[in-house]
């Protein structure tokens, strides 16, 4: 197995690095520290950055050229995402629409749906959020209870979705809703629903970080037009599995690149504090760096397999556990090593300028829960990777 980039991939990596250097005015951490910004203006920073990426042709890497993509590989997309993370570039606001919904529409959507939604998705003129999880249907998504009932040629949706990331700023939401009570998986359909309408109540959820980036949404007879049904009735589960499959490989190098940037910030802070040469500090930093390199190596192995025609399987659960638990360990160490300085908010004049460690610490607590909890991931590894027998 060759874990090195090809000459073409190295050239693309260099191209991306040069483009970012010319177009990124300042790291996003500095935008957050700027007192002129609030939550809404930071969304506009992210929207403008997405438009720059789109104008440069960097969005939808693996999409067909006719839909604004480059027809590139998953490795190319992984390179792009890792370089953006390393530069601390803003996360695009359509971080759910472009990597998830876009491919689903290209594969399963109608020509009319693709022409209607994809251009505005790429340009950030319309922001999308995801309506999958429910209070009683998270890891066991197939137990969802939100209903879509016929109303003439259209449908009326009733129910609740939760953990709706970026919901408070979204224009549209892609929703899994039950259209058949008798069929657990085959009774689920996939709808595109406008949020600005009667019957949709989007509420922000205050997080421990102080943000309200999540939302919960209540549907009370919200209109979903027949023309906005993706695929056929009952194909929602299959479409959702296609959609989720697109988030596995391209993110393999993103977390190691982001954590490498944070570790460099930690080392810089300890150097300024005169503690970098303490043997115990060097040992702890070295251990974190080694663990991050292990993660990066595993990501390269995953990409090498994808390049060889082997799509990610249940082994991706190993990576999910590794990065989420490592992030918690790293932020624990950072706050312990930096002391009170590491606990300051980014807006404090005395806070570290390169990493908002207080935010990272609080945000990392959720990593072992969202996208499948560590307990669920360990069950997947036990059953589908190790083939361990089920206890009776």
Among 39-53, 229-243, 304-318, which stretch is predicted with the lowest mean pLDDT? Answer: 304-318
Among 71-80, 217-226, 302-311, which stretch is predicted with the lowest mean pLDDT? Answer: 302-311
194 has a pLDDT exceeding 60: yes
The whole-number average pLDDT for the span 135-143 is 87
Q: Which residues contact 156 (CB under 8 A, 6 or more apart)?
A: 148, 149, 199, 221, 222, 223, 224
Indicate the pLDDT class of residue 371, thresholds 50, 70 and 90. Answer: confident
Indicate the pLDDT class of residue 20, thresholds 50, 70 and 90. Answer: very high
Q: Which of helix, strand or coil describes residue 195?
A: coil
- The verdict on 155 and 273 lying in the same domain is no
d(CA 40, CA 78): 29
- The verdict on 291 and 374 lying in the same domain is yes
| The pLDDT of residue 255 | 94
305 has a pLDDT exceeding 90: no
Compute φ and ψ for 102, nearest 5 degrees: -55, -55
238-263 CB burial, b ≥16 within 10 A, e <16: bbbebbeebebbbbbbbbbbbbbbbb
Does the pTM of the predicted model rise above 0.95?
Answer: no
Indicate the pLDDT class of residue 89, thresholds 50, 70 and 90. Answer: very high
* C-alpha distance from residue 134 to each of 143, 211, 218, 265, 337 (Å): 9, 21, 10, 37, 39
Per the domain annotation, does 2 fall within a domain? no
Q: What is the CATH number of the domain that holds 205?
A: 2.40.110.10
- Tokens at 34, concatenated: 């700027």
309 has a pLDDT exceeding 80: no
3 has a pLDDT exceeding 70: no
Among 24-33, 77-86, 239-248, 315-324, which stretch is predicted with the lowest mean pLDDT? Answer: 239-248
d(CA 116, CA 104): 14
Indicate the pLDDT class of residue 329, thresholds 50, 70 and 90. Answer: very high
Strand partners, 217: 161, 202
- Tokens at 387, concatenated: 């083939």
d(CA 67, CA 12): 21
| Residue among 38, 92, 35, 27 nearest 355 (CA) | 27
Query: In terms of C-beta distances under 8 Å and separation of at least 24 residues, what long-range contacts does 353-356 make, across chains too?
Result: 353/29, 353/30, 353/33, 354/27, 354/29, 354/88, 354/261, 354/264, 354/265, 354/268, 354/269, 355/29, 355/261, 355/262, 355/265, 355/266, 356/29, 356/32
Indicate the pLDDT class of residue 97, thresholds 50, 70 and 90. Answer: very high
Q: What is the CATH number of the domain that holds 295?
A: 1.20.140.10
| The pLDDT of residue 232 | 96
The whole-number average pLDDT for the span 29-53 is 95
Q: What residues are annotated to the active site?
A: 247
User: By residue range, what is the domain housing residue 142?
Assistant: 128-234
Indicate the pLDDT class of residue 246, thresholds 50, 70 and 90. Answer: low
* Percentage of the chain modeled with pLDDT above 90: 70
Indicate the pLDDT class of residue 248, thresholds 50, 70 and 90. Answer: low
| The pLDDT of residue 115 | 96
42 has a pLDDT exceeding 60: yes
| The pLDDT of residue 354 | 84
The whole-number average pLDDT for the span 146-159 is 98
Mean pLDDT for the chain overall:
92
Strand partners, 189: 177
Q: Kindly state the DSSP code that residue 294 receives in the 8-state scheme.
A: H
Per the domain annotation, does 117 fall within a domain? no
Q: How far is CA 194 from the centre of its chain?
A: 22
Percent helix, percent strand, percent coil in the chain, to nearest 5: 50, 15, 35
| The pLDDT of residue 235 | 97
Indicate the pLDDT class of residue 13, thresholds 50, 70 and 90. Answer: very high
Last residue of a domain, one of 67, 92, 117: 92
| Residue given tokens 């980039």 in the structure block | 5
Per the domain annotation, does 108 fall within a domain? no
- The verdict on 172 and 70 lying in the same domain is no
- The verdict on 193 and 277 lying in the same domain is no
| The pLDDT of residue 304 | 85
| The pLDDT of residue 1 | 56
Per the domain annotation, does 242 fall within a domain? no
| The pLDDT of residue 183 | 94
d(CA 328, CA 259): 11
Q: Which of helix, strand or coil describes residue 354?
A: coil
Per the domain annotation, does 55 fall within a domain? yes
- Tokens at 350, concatenated: 């005395």
Angle formed by the axes of helices 7-23 and 74-86, nearest 10°: 40
Q: Kindly state the DSSP code that residue 384 receives in the 8-state scheme.
A: I
Per the domain annotation, does 120 fall within a domain? no
């Amino acid at each position: 197995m060759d874990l090195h980039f090809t000459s073409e991939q190295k050239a693309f990596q260099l191209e991306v690095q040069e483009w970012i250097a010319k177009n990124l005015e300042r790291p996003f951490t500095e935008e957050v520290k700027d007192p002129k910004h609030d939550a809404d203006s930071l969304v506009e920073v992210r929207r403008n950055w997405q438009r720059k990426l789109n104008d440069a042709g960097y969005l939808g890497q693996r999409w067909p050229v006719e839909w604004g993509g480059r027809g590139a590989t998953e490795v190319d997309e992984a390179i792009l995402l890792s370089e953006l993370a390393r530069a601390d570039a803003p996360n695009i606001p359509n971080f759910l629409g472009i990597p998830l919904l876009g491919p689903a529409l290209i594969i399963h959507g109608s020509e009319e749906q693709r022409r209607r939604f994809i251009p505005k998705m790429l340009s950030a003129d319309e922001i999308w959020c995801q309506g999958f999880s429910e209070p009683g249907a998270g890891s066991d998504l197939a137990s969802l209870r939100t209903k879509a009932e016929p109303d003439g040629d259209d449908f009326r949706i009733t129910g609740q979705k939760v953990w709706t990331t970026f919901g408070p700023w979204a224009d549209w939401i892609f929703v899994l809703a039950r259209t058949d009570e008798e069929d657990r998986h085959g009774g689920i359909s996939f709808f595109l629903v406008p949020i600005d309408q009667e019957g949709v109540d989007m509420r922000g959820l205050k997080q421990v970080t102080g943000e309200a980036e999540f939302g919960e949404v209540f549907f009370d007879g919200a209109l979903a037009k027949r023309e906005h049904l993706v695929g056929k009735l009952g194909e929602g589960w299959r479409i959702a599995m296609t959609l989720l499959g697109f988030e596995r490989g391209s993110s393999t190098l993103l977390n190691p690149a982001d954590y490498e940037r944070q570790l460099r910030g930690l080392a810089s802070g300890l150097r300024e504090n005169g503690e970098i040469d303490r043997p115990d500090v060097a040992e702890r930093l070295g251990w974190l760096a080694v663990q991050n390199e292990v993660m990066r190596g595993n990501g390269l192995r995953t990409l090498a397999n994808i390049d060889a025609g082997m799509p990610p399987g249940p082994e991706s659960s190993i990576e999910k556990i590794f990065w989420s638990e490592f992030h918690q360990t790293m932020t624990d160490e950072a706050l312990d090593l930096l002391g009170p300085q590491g606990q300051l908010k980014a807006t404090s004049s005395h806070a570290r300028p390169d990493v908002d460690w207080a935010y990272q610490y609080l945000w990392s607590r959720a990593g072992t829960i969202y996208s499948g909890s560590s307990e669920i991931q360990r069950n997947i590894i036990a059953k589908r990777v190790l083939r361990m027998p089920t206890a009776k």
